[in-house]
Structures are given as structure tokens and as C-alpha cells.
Structure 1
């Protein structure tokens, strides 16, 4: 499930730290790491040569800093628009996960400032792990999975169980936010574990020897998910992110989508921990 990881270098933030942390998790022990650095189009041959050499040094430095087994890493240096290049490279190598940094820009600001992560998030069909520049990246011990009735939520559960199946240091928080329930209502542990959406997931986790607990809250899902992540000091948040584009428009940029009105877009921007958005 995680055979090929595409690490898209932005030169900023904490994505290198996140990559180091991931490589300590058993699920990633056999993964091939593809490190991509993109050179913007240059106006002259001399400028291109200079940027090409600089890009090669950046890739070598990342491999050195992260201390990756050379047999499990491939470096990719390309020229072009970073947004399109990341998406195209993910397709070319058939990446199982894209890891990249994010400035955490909001909606219109993100669109107007030509955010690479926003563009890739909206147009790629690959799972993405986004690490905002202004958050503190910690060793993964508390993983939160927000569940609902959607197909993408089921894929997120598969991913969470795969990530934690042999990783005994982590605890899985299974979360259901019900918009029809009063936000102030407090349920007992037994009531939360019997929630029809969480109960099957809890049983799967237990069968795999994964430590798990359930949380059921009412209120606005996007805001509550971010609040629960903060309240429980979550190190990694997983969320199903459905691909809402009709097949005829796969290659078209929809302005409404780029303005970011979805629950997953809200969480991507506002969560104070790395966010893994799962698609399949």
C-alpha cells in the first residue's frame, strides 16, 4: 500500500523531519522514497545550468539529512511549473503517497498566491500528507482518524490500520462528529464504542492488536475535528477526502474547488498537526 512515496521538496518547513519520522514506522520500512525537486523555467541557458547544479546539491543534501538507505531512494530533478510537475510525477511513478509542505493559506488567498500544495491537493488522485510550515512535527504516537459513512472514509481506515499494524508505540483515536448531535452532549465510553460507524473500526483495530479509543461529539464536523486534534495532542490526523470532480473534468481546474469549500480543505488549512488526506 505504501511502496512508493513521492517527497516533493519545497525547501521550507518541516517536511524533512516528517519524512524521518515516517521512516521509523514499520509500514514504511520497504518503501521506495522518490525525492523530487523542481526548477522553475529559466530565461537563459546559463541560469538553467546554475539552477540545475543547485537542484542536484539540494537533492543530495536531503538524502544526507534524512539518512535514507541509498538502495531505497531515487532523486528526481525536473524543470517546469511545480504544481503540474508534482501531479505528473506522482502519476508517472504511480506514487502511493505524496508528502509535501504547505503554507496553510486559506481559500482565496491560497488561489491568488498560486499555492502548489492547494493545486496538488485539489487535482491529484493520490493520498497526500501535508505538513504546514508553522507546525511542530513530533514523533507519531497519537493518530486520529475522522470517520463518516463515505467511501473515502473507508479508505482512510484501511490506511490507518496499515500504518499502525506493527507499530505498537502509537494509539489510534477513532472519531465521529455527528452534526445532528448537540455539541455539549457527553457520551459514556460504552456509548461511544457502540457508535455504528466507530464500532466496526474499533473491532478491526483490536483484531490487529492496535490500541484504539473512540470519541463521538456533536457540532460542525470540520471545526470539531480540528478542536479534537488540539485537545488530544494528536501527532497525525487522517481524513477521507473524496474526489468530487466528474470524470469529464479531470483535467480542468474548477474555481469553486480551488477556493476550498470542503471539510477536508478546512482541516488541511486549520489543523495544527500533519494531515493525511486519503483518496483512492
Structure 2
């Protein structure tokens, strides 16, 4: 499970609410946390005042979230929020970034200079995105996308590790097919075989996976509809979105403006979204 979290949105109610809910999960209760507040670069005269205010904000946030101070590292940094979050995640070696999101679409996010969209696009680390318009609940019903890829397997593992610590927690695996496929000689379709293998892997973690196959040409929309019907409290997805390896400081515009499945889910999912990223390869 996650050993160090970067909470990059202190002062925003839904993120704090999500962190409070996660405290019910034993491994999250013992995880170290870096709590980041970014102030804009400015003159020395103004910086000192802003830093004091920021430190007070972080102190209040720690109290509101009910965190043990011994495992929290409060950080006040100057600079651009987007770049600073990525930099601090590397410096602190955090294995999960938690951020709020206004739920803006791709083009809106670019025009609005969205920090969460930028980090979502460029980070190689898992992210937990909590939209401002969601009602955050205790995590009991978890849904995970099943796609048969390596990063999809990582997403399943993360979902299982969460659910195995939740008394009465349930896990649903959803696989989207574009059209009905004929069964093989053994009577199982490729989707059946994929979900059967996922269920077997989940059992190795002591978790019973409820398998669900849904049909739809738009994968993101189908996943969001399935999550809504299952009343999921958390949606875990594998994100294979391409990220630029050379121009690290640039948003990957063609992907942002294209048909990214994980971006659609980020904007439209009826629950907070945990994105498990594909490890970057040079």
C-alpha cells in the first residue's frame, strides 16, 4: 500500500474530507504525509507574511484532518503550483499524490491553467483526484477497471490491497467491450477469460471480485455509468496516457485534446478517482 502521501490541496474541503475518510483504512492511518501549500513567488517583504499565513493554514488543516503530527511534514514552497507539486512529489519520494479537481474538461483545464490537470498529465506517480462537486463518502464499495494490461494489473493489486483492509468492503471489476464476442471452444469469451483471471488474482489477496462486463463504444462513459449504477465510493483505473519524455515542462496537447479515457473519467466519474500510472520508461 501507499507509504507516503503528498496532499497538495490543503484548505480545500473535499480533499480534507477524503483524507479523513481514508483514516479508516489501517495502512492509510499509518502512512507518512507531506502537506503542501504553494505561495506565488514575490518580493522578500511580502514573502515573509505569506509564509506565516501559509504555515498557519497548514497547522489548521492538520487539525481538521485529525492527523498525527509525528507523521506529517508540512511544506511551504514558493513558485508555480503545478511545477512545485511535481517537484515535491519527487523530492519527498511520495507514492501517492492527492489533489482536488474542479472537473474541467481538457480544453477548459488548459485555458484555466488547471494545476490538477497538469499534474495528472505529467506525473508518473499514482494520483487520487477528488472533484469539488462530489459528495465524499467512507470507502466501502470500490470499483476497478480490468483491461488485461500490466498497469491494469497494478490497478487491480492496489484496489485489492485497499479492500482487504476494509471490514465489509466490496470490490467490483468492470471490463468494457465494444461489441458482443463469440465464446471460444471452452464456452468463454475473451472478456470472460480476462475477468476470470482477475478474480483469481483478487482471491490471492483474500478479496472476492465481483465481475461485470458492460458494452459500449465509449469506454470512459461506460465505466462512469457502471460506477454510478454500483454506487461506487472509489473508482480505481489504470492510466496508460502517454506523457512527454523529452519536454517535461510542456502539456501533451494532442493527448489532452484527444479522446483520453482516463481524462473523461477524471471529469465525469461519480466518485473520487485513483489513477494508477504506468511506470515511465526512458
**What is the TM-score of this pair, normalised by structure 2?**
0.90
Structure-2 separation of matches of 1:260 and 1:194: 26
Structure-1 separation of matches of 2:107 and 2:229: 28
Structure-1 separation of matches of 2:207 and 2:275: 21
1:241 matched residue in structure 2? 239
Q: Which secondary structure state, in structure 2, belongs to the residue aligned with residue 136 of structure 1? A: coil
Unaligned runs of 5+ in 2: 182-186
Aligned residues: 272
1:221-260 superposed matches below 5 A: 221-245=219-243, 247-259=245-257
2:148 matched residue in structure 1? 149
Structure-2 separation of matches of 1:7 and 1:261: 28
Q: Give the CA deviation at 1:202.
A: 1.1
Structure-1 separation of matches of 2:207 and 2:115: 35
Does the aligned pair in 2 maintain the 1:8–1:37 contact within 8 Å?
A: yes
Does the aligned pair in 1 maintain the 2:125–2:276 contact within 8 Å?
A: yes
1:149-169 CA-to-partner distances (Å, cap 9, x unmatched) read: 222211111211222223233
Does the aligned pair in 2 maintain the 1:2–1:96 contact within 8 Å?
A: yes
Does the aligned pair in 2 maintain the 1:192–1:214 contact within 8 Å?
A: no
Q: Which secondary structure state, in structure 2, belongs to the residue aligned with residue 176 of structure 1? A: strand
Shifted more, 20-29 versus 52-61: the winner is 20-29
Unaligned runs of 5+ in 1: 183-189
1:185 matched residue in structure 2? none
Shifted more, 265-274 versus 152-161: the winner is 152-161
Q: Give the CA deviation at 1:243.
A: 4.3
Cα RMSD of the aligned pairs, angstroms, is 2.1
1:118 matched residue in structure 2? 117
Q: 1:218 aligns with which of 215, 234, 257?
A: 215
Does the aligned pair in 2 maintain the 1:4–1:97 contact within 8 Å?
A: yes
